[in-house]
Structure 1
Amino acid sequence: MAPNLILYAVPFFVLTVILEAIFITREQKDYLEVKDSFTSIALGLGNLFTGLISKTLIAFIFLYLYENFHVFTLDGSAWWMWVLAFFADDFSYYWFHREAHLIRYFWASHKVHHSSEKYNLATALRQTWTGNITGSFIFYLWMPIVGFHPIVVVIMQQISLLYQYWIHTETIGKMWKPFEFIFNTPSHHRVHHGSDVKYLDKNYAGILIIWDRMFGTFIEEEERPTYGLTNNLKTYNPVKIAFSEWIDIAKDVWKAGSLKNAFNYIFAPPGWSHDGSRKTAKQMQEGIQNNRL
């Protein structure tokens, strides 16, 4: 089995969250809310706990696909294999992350990560309890089929998650331009966490921002984002946050009125409604664009 790099990193997470909190307090910035940070930590601990079972099951799925269907045998001791694995994982993450914002079924889990109205290192720990068991791993199934060993796949997923920890901060401004052109940075990811209409559904990158540049989802940080959701949850209860969107989906499906509407309430973009009472991010952006014309 692959080593649990995230578990080993927990002491580092704790230390840096505390150090950042001290810095924010001394600088008298509004980047921190204690209750919010404790909620993020509770959700992170819940993610670790649920992952003990779900990630093991996913690893076995990867292993089954690798042993029975792999097309190539990629040498795990070769440096070029790890380079390929890095790009393959990051590419997969981009498309998973993009669809997690465009398909409500996946958004129901990912919404948890965007539910904080603050943006700091503790926010990075605010993770889903349901993402693994509801199928986010399907975006990576092609990797063991191609020939990446499941241990390699799992390690690269953890490296991606570890990288993304440090970009959840307002204490680092814009960085060296060549670095920002290639890599995801705090500036790029602040945009992603913004609830401002122009920032919605942008900058999906994991480690490399080049995917957003290639596929038309990149936007530069201009004014400071307004963090959180377009309709914030207004609770510090981690259980309510973890399951709020699933409950809302169930309510919408119950009142859908038709199978087509029920299907769309599950798989259409977040904000879709059969009567137009709510708006998707795309509809909100189109509305602003039309008003400017």
Structure 2
Amino acid sequence: MLDSLITQTEALLVPVFGAHIDWKQVLLTVMTPVFLLAFVIEWQVRKSRGADDRMWSQFEWRDILANLGLGGSYQIFEGIAHALVTGAAVLWIYQFRLFDIPVNAWTVIPIFVGVEFCYYWFHRTSHRVRWFWSAHVVHHSSEKMNMTTAMRQSLLYSITGWWLFFMPLVLLGVNPAAVFFLYAVDLTYQYFVHTEAVVKLPRWVEYVFNTPSNHRVHHGRNEEYIDHNYGGVLIIFDRWFGTYAEERDDNPVEYGITRQVRSHNILTLNFHEFADMWRDVFRPGPWWQRLQHLIRPPEWQRPDQSSGS
């Protein structure tokens, strides 16, 4: 089903995109007008309910323009990286697959759950390993929450290696095009959970799925909320692996990061943490300690550093 649809569409897109089509970016690009329309609807819904200070604080236009700029530059750079490196690397890995797993009505849901499982560990690692956090921090650097916040993505994702986390599925035998397309479906869903327009959904929905309420927690810098709710579409892996936290009315979410970078400059937002990480690596000291700045959590400091920041 999906295999044959991808093959047919590939024949149409190869003349435009070349041999290595990034199916993730194809879907996200196609969905961009829908994303923008959804943001307009979100703004109108919030406004129709009565524009209070809280509402207007989440719709700051310099922040929104920065989000759009980050999303556009991310899409362009991801496409270039896929054409030059990622696409070829993934197809090389696919040669060593153990099986040939078809993508059809019977397998598409299990494969999607597999993609979601890989995403959970990619996302969790992106918070707990500074090398990956140096890219992901861009997404968390806004102190606002509206749908354009989902577009706040980093130029560094392909450099830090997001795609490596999905290679177990490719090695098992799932076509990389299907893996990347289903990952794009996962990301598309996530766009719509970046909002305060939806308070809470029915309890069974909140239990199984990533919802606006669950995802607001993920963007919180409150001590009780930091490093929780990593799921993309599903929240069950967070419940199983002990990383779930519920949004509480008595503890409103404060968005952003603990060392806030207050800038709307796209280059600053993309590279501030990456530069800080390498600055720490090259500070004098034993090499085994220097290299730990790459693999330890973002808040880790060497024994000779004062605690806190």
Tell me, yes or no, whether TM beats 0.5.
yes
Q: Could you tell which deviates more after superposition, 44-53 or 102-111? A: 44-53
Show the counterpart of 2:246: 220
* Aligned 8 A contact 1:203 1:217 in 2: yes
1:206-227 alpha-carbon deviations (Å, 9 max, x no partner): 1110000000000111122100
Distance of 1:85 and 1:23 partners within structure 2: 35
Please report how far the alpha carbon of residue 12 of structure 1 lies from its aligned counterpart in structure 2 after TM superposition.
Answer: 0.9
* Aligned 8 A contact 2:22 2:79 in 1: no
- Root mean square deviation, CA, Å: 1.5
Distance of 2:61 and 2:40 partners within structure 1: 11
Alignment of 1:72-83 (within 5 A): 72-76=99-103, 78-83=104-109
* Aligned 8 A contact 1:24 1:31 in 2: no
Distance of 1:167 and 1:92 partners within structure 2: 20
Structure 2 residue 68 is the aligned partner of structure 1 residue 41: yes
Distance of 2:284 and 2:301 partners within structure 1: 9
* Aligned 8 A contact 2:28 2:184 in 1: yes
Please report how far the alpha carbon of residue 127 of structure 1 lies from its aligned counterpart in structure 2 after TM superposition.
Answer: 0.5
Please report how far the alpha carbon of residue 61 of structure 1 lies from its aligned counterpart in structure 2 after TM superposition.
Answer: 2.1
Judged with a 3 Å threshold, the aligned counterparts in structure 2 of structure 1 residues 89 and 97 are, in CA distance, closer, same or farther, namely same
Distance of 1:140 and 1:93 partners within structure 2: 8
Q: Could you tell which deviates more after superposition, 184-193 or 129-138? A: 129-138
Amino acid at match of 1:168: H
Show the counterpart of 1:107: 133
Q: 1:9 aligns with which of 4, 14, 31?
A: 31
Show the counterpart of 2:237: 211
Aligned length: 278
Please report how far the alpha carbon of residue 279 of structure 1 lies from its aligned counterpart in structure 2 after TM superposition.
Answer: 4.4
Amino acid at match of 2:218: H
Show the counterpart of 1:270: 298
* Aligned 8 A contact 2:59 2:144 in 1: yes
Structure 2 residue 286 is the aligned partner of structure 1 residue 258: yes
Please report how far the alpha carbon of residue 277 of structure 1 lies from its aligned counterpart in structure 2 after TM superposition.
Answer: 2.5
* Aligned 8 A contact 1:196 1:225 in 2: yes
Segments of 4+ in structure 1 off by > 6 A? none
Distance of 1:225 and 1:278 partners within structure 2: 25
Q: Which runs of 5+ in 2 are unaligned?
A: 1-20
Q: Which runs of 5+ in 1 are unaligned?
A: 281-293
* Aligned 8 A contact 1:194 1:227 in 2: yes
Show the counterpart of 1:32: 59
Distance of 1:14 and 1:277 partners within structure 2: 45
1:148-205 alpha-carbon deviations (Å, 9 max, x no partner): 0111111111001001000000110110111111110000000000001111100000
* TM-score calculated relative to the size of structure 2: 0.86
1:125-165 alpha-carbon deviations (Å, 9 max, x no partner): 00011111221111111111101011111111100100100
* Aligned 8 A contact 1:108 1:246 in 2: yes
Show the counterpart of 2:174: 148
1:71-97 alpha-carbon deviations (Å, 9 max, x no partner): 111123x31221221011000000000
Amino acid at match of 1:112: V
Distance of 2:100 and 2:175 partners within structure 1: 8
Identity of aligned residues (%): 35
* TM-score calculated relative to the size of structure 1: 0.91
Alignment of 1:220-239 (within 5 A): 220-222=246-248, 223-239=251-267
* Aligned 8 A contact 1:116 1:227 in 2: yes
Show the counterpart of 2:268: 240
Distance of 2:159 and 2:275 partners within structure 1: 16
Distance of 1:85 and 1:12 partners within structure 2: 25
Show the counterpart of 1:176: 202
* Aligned 8 A contact 1:193 1:227 in 2: yes
Q: Could you tell which deviates more after superposition, 124-133 or 267-276? A: 267-276
Please report how far the alpha carbon of residue 17 of structure 1 lies from its aligned counterpart in structure 2 after TM superposition.
Answer: 1.7
1:88-107 alpha-carbon deviations (Å, 9 max, x no partner): 10000000000000000000
Q: Could you tell which deviates more after superposition, 110-119 or 56-65? A: 56-65
Amino acid at match of 2:277: I
